[in-house]
Amino acid sequence: MSIVSPFRLALEPEAFQLLGGCTEILRRLSDMRDFFADEQAVERVLTSDDPVIYEFWKGECESSGGGVSYGLTRIHPGTVGREYHMTKGHFHTKDGDEIYVVVEGRGLLLLQTREGEGRTVEMTPGHMVYVPTGWAHRTVNTGDAALIFLSIWPPGVGHDYGTVARYGFPQLVVQGADGPMVVRSPSFQGGLMG
């Protein structure tokens, strides 16, 4: 039986960076070719730059109680074409619920089932969002500043990015004349995924 000591951690990228045992993952635009809708816009940006779209830091506490996985994500503000910066998004490969807690910034959480049912939830500081088992989730930064959020999920839950790369989400979040707009993705086919 492993014994885990209690600890406290600031919800800031710098604190997670300094934490021993935390893994840092950096997603640049070139890593996200299959995820943004406007392929021409992606290639246009990549001719001169390969910006970091988001970073996340994740750790795991192992204990006899089953443990817990946790991560802090920072999505930088901006758009690719008209689509706002976002995470790749994934299904969990095993059953496992997740909680997101918004620390700063503003955005939208896109959710979908394997049957293609979509939901959109606002992300604002001081709020949590529950992601039930079976719902793929992608976070979009619709603000002018970084969107930072904490996520907590059960250890051993794998991340399936391939299904999202192949099918996309039903919703696209794009910059409109009066701010962010959620529109139906023209390439989304629906049907059973995976």
Interface residues with ligand PAN (CB under 6 A) are 56, 71, 73, 87-90, 98, 137, 139, 151, 153, 159
DSSP 8-state code for residue 187: T
Collapse the DSSP code of 27 into the 3-class scheme (helix H, G, I; strand E, B; otherwise coil) and give the result. strand
Contact 109, 121 (CB under 8 A): yes
CB of 192 to ligand PAN, least distance (A): 21
Question: How many secondary structure helices (H) and strands (E) does the chain include?
Answer: 3, 15
C-beta closer to ligand PAN: residue 79 or 151: 151
C-beta closer to ligand PAN: residue 93 or 189: 93
Residues binding Zn ion (CB under 5 A) = 98
Q: Which residue is nearest to Zn ion (CB)?
A: 98
Q: Which does 168 bind (CB under 5 to 8 A by kind): Zn ion, ligand PAN, none?
A: none
C-beta closer to Zn ion: residue 71 or 168: 71
Tokens at residue 115, please?
A: 């049957």
CB of 178 to ligand PAN, least distance (A): 28
How far out from the chain centre does Cα 192 lie? Answer: 22
C-beta closer to Zn ion: residue 151 or 171: 151
CB of 66 to ligand PAN, least distance (A): 16
Number of C-beta neighbours around residue 154 at 10 A: 16
Contact 62, 46 (CB under 8 A): no
CB of 151 to ligand PAN, least distance (A): 4
Contact 97, 154 (CB under 8 A): yes
